[in-house]
Amino acid sequence: MSSALQVNVQGYEQLKNKLRLIANDKSKRREVLLILRQIAKPTLETAKRMAPVSKKTHLAHNQKITPGNLKKSLGTITGKNKENPTILVGPRVKGSFKGWYGHFVHEGVNVYNKGFKRKHKKGVNNSSAVRRTKSNPFLTRAYQQTEGKVTADAEAKFVKFVQRRLNKLQ
């Protein structure tokens, strides 16, 4: 035996129309990126604390890499997608930042003998690596440590953002 329950929600169509207006707002991207940068701050600070520092200066690709360079290059990077605002945390490489080798530190890398030339044959794995450097996934650990706080903070800030936008439309 089923009984029909009718619910009449007043103002639903207006709310739906207002949410559509928010979605098409041009200044939304700028404000969302600002909120995302604030949310990413704890992860960035943790990553800077965990970033390894070399003991000595070395030369790579004709660039002098000083100790602490990777830590200095860590920052927020704005994603290029115009429809979906994105902020990334990682080593920066543009401008005066020289964090191009950050993924080598994070993932580890094969080390070959000096003068080694790879033979590129299809289907043949020619692994002549002398050894592999140990990976140091400091960015992954920083993310795992701050994940819960960032998620709760993001949820609260975006609820305030949507409410503020709805209040502007009234």
Q: How confident is the model at residue 74 (pLDDT cuts 50, 70, 90)?
A: very high
Between 78 and 110, whose confidence is greater?
Answer: 78
pLDDT at 164: 81
| 17 belongs to a structural domain | no
Q: Cα(14)–Cα(29) distance, rounded to whole angstroms?
A: 23
Q: Cα(70)–Cα(118) distance, rounded to whole angstroms?
A: 29
**Residue 163 domain boundaries:** 27-116+128-169
Res. 23: pLDDT tops 80: no
DSSP-assigned letter for residue 123: T
| 49 belongs to a structural domain | yes
How many folded domains does the chain comprise?
1
User: How far are the Cα atoms of 27, 46, 148 from residue 34, in angstroms, in the given order?
Assistant: 11, 20, 20
| 2 belongs to a structural domain | no
CA 44-45-49 angle, 5° bins: 115
pLDDT at 139: 92
Look-up of token digits 């927020």: 76
| 18 belongs to a structural domain | no
| 16 belongs to a structural domain | no
| 15 belongs to a structural domain | no
| 7 belongs to a structural domain | no
Q: What is the pLDDT of residues 107-163, one digit of tens each?
A: 988 887 776 666 666 655 556 777 888 999 999 999 999 887 888 888 888 888 878
- Among 40-49, 78-87, 108-117, 155-164, the range scoring the smallest mean pLDDT is 108-117
pTM strictly above 0.75: no
Res. 58: pLDDT tops 90: no
Residue of 126, 102, 114 whose CA lies nearest to 50: 102
Average pLDDT, the chain: 81
pLDDT at 48: 95
